[in-house]
Structures are given as structure tokens and as C-alpha cells.
Amino acid sequence: MYAVDPRRTASAKFADLWLGLDVGTDIALANAMSREIISSDLHDKEFIDRATVGFEAFAAHVDYYTLERAAEMTGLQADAIRELAHEYATASTAQILWTLGITEHHNGVENVLSLCNLALLTGHVGRWGSGLVPLRGQNNVQGGGDMGALPNKLPGFQDLSDTTIRSKFEAVYGREINPTPGLHLTLMFEAMERGDLTALYVIGENPADSEADVEHARKLLNELEILVVQDIFLTRTAQLADVVFPATVGWAESHGTVTSSERRVQRVRPAVDPPESCRHDYEIIGDLASRMGADWNTTTPEELWNELRSLSPMHAGMSYERLENERGLQWPCPSLDHPGTVYLHSWLWEDDLDGRDPAPFSITNHEGPKEQLTDEFPLRLTTGRTLDSFNTGVQSSGYESPIRSGSHLEISAVDAVDLGLVNGERVVVSSPRGSVQMNIKIESDQAAGLAFSTFHFPELVDLNVLTNDEWDKRSGTAEFKAASIRIDKLPLGTSHG
């Protein structure tokens, strides 16, 4: 196990080797690994010939990324990059797992594509034990996308622009479907800024705490003509709302399904009775539709699910009975006699590729974070999560964790000495977008120049005031992982750390 992370996390300590690269240099590392694999003749030529396209151009492109250059760009040792490349290429099976450290960058999609290149180069994809594994951060973020909560997709990732697909849905929904793609979250905020979007209905999300450059996001939410929030608590977003719909706790108070990182659809069931004032999400949405003159004629979660199965081929075989008996099923599961699909892309190993187009190599370039370090803001801030807490703390603040230590700014001993700071000292942390006060925690494992904190405790430390809302134009994800900051001591007499 190899851990690639700017911070020496618990996983990194567990790994055989930790590669503590500089924030935002993943492409340099991946491209150098690709170059090393090719130049050492460790790539899977048979797989590349059959299943991929664009290898020659890719090989020529990554030739620039020598071990020495990559070492310069990433801050890693050339030997470590070489070892990882050789171990990955020669393993009988290998997986690359990642989460937001890859995607929360202005070029997150390119980061992902550079990892896909490695899998295509070595054939570590589409077969048992090998693969590319983006680990999902929420219990149903996969399910949300699957259900069509994407601007250009209908449920089951079916294309909104396809008239045949649309008419299939229109026949069941009994109305015309607008063929124009909607906006994703980041574009919605831009539309709010332009004044094009004036009404917002937020369900189970807390953007007033979770958005990058959060003061700006709050201003835009405040300026809406109407904000409707449906949630289990009066979150900071709900406090800004004109109307709040009190909702039940989906996983413990109502029936339904969620879909995990491995595409496994599983049943949630009510264990406790909700408070009288709270209603299920599907009831609230259904009643809202009724007030708007629609008659959806679907009353239970199972009926809704069966309607979905009739429209989404990849879910067609997943009856409630099967989900119950087989403890969940992994899509695609197109028929009642289909066992579900443990891993995707096995067609890459079929002689005719199952009639599909070969998988393309992608040309990606090392760029580094959008926000460069300057004399004014000389430290790199990266944000993340801790084991016992979850995102903006709406759920995890409900219990007292003995291992929770609050929201510190973790810095290296080197920087602490440079800045004359002691452990626990309260300081002012500023980025080009704003300032917050927080306490310093000196971490012996932290790289010099790197600062880390979480946004689990927005009521104590409003960390997203600092983060950068530069975002990836293809994914819509903001660069939470790389801002530039400065640390200032509090003026004498004001310290109460």
C-alpha cells in the first residue's frame, strides 16, 4: 500500500511508503509514473493495442515528465516515484483509490484523467481486484447522481438531449420535459450573482457553511428573492430561508434506498418515529407538486422505486424484495435474474470491446494550484476531514467524541519557529478573501509551508471564509484543497487562546 498525500494521515502511517507530495502536483506525479512505466517497458502492450486509443501521442507527451523533473515539481524523491511506478505496473492486481484530494482542485478532472492513464497503461482496470476507485463522501451522493440530480441527465444517467429517452420519461410522467440542461451548484451561484437565478430550493445541504469563499456564498443566498430549505435541523442555510420544511431523518425514520460508493443500492428503514412536525422528503416534494397542479399518483417509497425501475434500465432488476433478500445489489442490474455488477468496464478485456469505442488516453499538464503563494500569503492551506466528524457538523456535532480536538490550524514546527508561535496560540489567519481567528496546533509530521484545518465546526471557526472558489469548469468543484494564507499574531493584549 502506497499513500500519496501532502499530509501524513493515519492511512499514510499505515502504508508501506508515504509519498508526501506538494499540494496540487498530482498530475506531475502521475505523468512521471506513466513515463517511467513506458521507459521501463512495463506497460501492457496487448491491452493498450486492443482496448485504448491515443497511446503514441500520450507517450510522446509524458516523455517530458522525467523522474528528475517530477521530483522538482512535486517535492518528492525521484526514487520514491520510481518505486511506486514499478510496484504499480508489476502488481498482479492494483487499485488506485482517491477522494477529494484529487477532485477538489481547479483541474480536478485532469487529475482524475491522469490516474485513468495509469490504469490504461497497465491494464489495471475492468478486471477482478484491479480498478479505479473514487471513494464517495456521503451515503447517497452516488444515488443522487444515479437518480438524475445532474443538470444534463435523467435517472440512470440517461441523456437529457436524447428525444427517444425524453419521450420514454414523458410517457410515464405525463408531461413534457424541458430539454435544456440545468445548472450545477457552482453555476447556480454564478447565476445568482448575475441576478438570473432568484429562487432556490435546498434539500439536505448546508451551502451557507460548506461553500468555498463562504462569505460570498452567504451574500448571494441572502439576496435571493426566495430561499426554501428542507432539512432536519435549522442549519445556517435554513436560518437564511424564507420557508423551512422540517424533514424526517431519512436513514432512521423513513423507507427508501441509498447507493454506496461501490454502486450498491441498499434499503434504509425507519427505526424510530419522527417528531410530529416533520414529514418525509418524498411527502413534502409530492405535496408541493400537488399545490402546483400535478398529480403524481405515487404514494410510497416502493412505488416510487418501481417507477424508477421502469425507466432506468440499470436499476430494472432491483426489486425491494431482492434488495432485502440479497442485502443490496450493485448496478447495472438490468433484469430480475441479473446478479448485479461487482466491477465495471470488463468489456475492455473482450476481443471486440463489446462493440464499444476504445478508451482514450488523456493529455494532461502539471499546473499546480490556481492560487500561487505570494509574499503577502506565503503558506499553503489545505482543508480536509477528521475521523469522528463529518462535513459542516450538522450530524456529527450531535455526539461528544472523546477524540475530537476542535478546529485548529495545523502547522509545521519549522513554520511555528519562523513565526514565533507556540502550540495552542490564537492567531489571525488570512487569505485573499478574508480572515478568521483560530488556534495553532504544531504537528510534528507536517511539511514546512503547509497548513491544514477542517470545516467541521463552522460556529467556532468559519474556515471556508479562507478557501478559494476557483473551480473546475468540467466538474463544478471548487479548489478547497489549495488556498494561500498568512498567519499573524494577535495584537498584544487581545490574546485569549
Partner 1 sequence: MTQQDVSEVSVHINDTAVTVEQGTTLLQAARLAGVEIPTLCWAENLTPVNACRLCVVEQEGTRALIPSCSRLCEDGIRVETDSDRVRHSRRMILEFLASTNDLSQSAELQEWAESYQIDLDRYISPEKNNDEVKIEDDLFVRAYDRCVLCYKCVEACGDDAQHSFAIAIAGRGFDARVSTEYEVELPESACVYCGNCVGVCPTNALQFKVEFDLRESDEWRPEDQSTTETICSYCGVGCSLELHTQNNQIFKVTSPSDHSVTSGHLCIKGRFGWQYVHAPKYEPSKKS
Residues lying near partner 1 in the complex (CB under 8 A) are found at 14, 135-139, 141-142, 232-236, 239, 244, 246, 249-253, 258-262, 264, 266-273, 275, 277-278, 327-328, 387-390, 393-403, 456-460
Work out the widest C-alpha separation in the chain, in whole angstroms: 74
At closest approach, how far in Å is the CB of 445 from partner 1? Answer: 16
Query: Minimal distance in Å, beta carbon 371 to partner 1?
Result: 27
Instruction: Identify which of residues 327 and 474 has a Cβ nearer to partner 1 in the complex.
Output: 327
Cell 501521442 -> residue: 57
Q: What is the Cα–Cα distance from 126 to 345, expressed in whole angstroms?
A: 4
Please report how close the Cβ of residue 279 comes to partner 1 at its closest, in angstroms.
11
Quick one: CA torsion of 143, 212, 115, 29, rounded to 10 degrees? -160
Q: What is the DSSP letter of 342?
A: S
Query: Sheet containing 329-330: which strands, arranged edge to edge?
Result: 256-259, 264-268, 329-330
Strand partners, 486: 430
- Numbers of helices and strands, H then E, in the chain: 19, 20
Question: Does residue 253 contact residue 246 with C-beta atoms inside 8 Å?
Answer: no
Q: Between residues 278 and 288, which has the closer beta carbon with respect to partner 1?
A: 278
Q: Which is nearer to partner 1, 350 or 459 (CB)?
A: 459
Q: How far is the CB of 191 from partner 1 (least distance, A)?
A: 28
In the complex, the smallest distance separating the C-beta of residue 477 from partner 1, rounded to whole angstroms, is 16
How many whole angstroms separate alpha carbon 247 and alpha carbon 308? Answer: 22
Shortest distance (Å) from residue 99 CB to partner 1: 9
Contact (CB, 8 A) for 25 and 75: yes
**Which residue lies nearer to partner 1 by CB, 249 or 416?**
249
By the 8 A CB rule, do 467 and 434 touch? no
Task: Give min distance, CB of 244 to partner 1, in A.
Answer: 8
Which residues does residue 368 pair with via DSSP β-bridges, in sequence order?
none
Residue placing its CB nearer to partner 1 in the complex, 59 or 149: 149
Minimum CB distance to partner 1 smaller for 252 or for 414 = 252
Grid coordinates in use for 235? 442549519
Q: Which DSSP letter does residue 318 get?
A: -
The reply to whether omega before 151 is within 30° of 0 (cis) is no
Query: Among all chains, which residue has been given the C-alpha cell 488556534?
Result: 439
Closer to partner 1 at the Cβ: 355 or 398? 398
| Least distance CB 457 / partner 1 (angstroms) | 4
What's the rounded Cα separation, in Å, for the pair 30 and 62?
9
Nearest distance from residue 388's CB to partner 1, in Å?
5
Lookup: cell for 484: 494561500
User: For partner 1, which is the closer residue by CB, 253 or 281?
Assistant: 253
Closer of 236 and 380 to partner 1 (Cβ): 236
Residue whose C-alpha cell reads 485573499 in the numeric block: 432
Q: Which is nearer to partner 1, 108 or 369 (CB)?
A: 108
Q: State the nearest-atom distance from the C-beta of 401 to partner 1, in Å.
A: 6
Please classify residue 375 by burial: count the beta carbons closer than 10 Å to its beta carbon, then call 0-12 exposed, 13-18 middle and 19+ buried.
exposed
Alpha helices in 361-470 (DSSP H): 413-419
Q: Provide the grid cell at 436.
A: 478568521
Closest CB 103 distance from partner 1, rounded Å: 13
Phi, psi of 384, deg, nearest 5: -170, -160
The closest of 377, 370, 325, 338 to 488, measured between CA atoms, is 377
Question: What whole-number distance in Å separates Cα of residue 139 and Cα of residue 361?
Answer: 31
| Residue 186 or 206 with smaller CB distance to partner 1 | 206
Helix (H, G, I), strand (E, B), or coil: what is residue 303?
Answer: helix
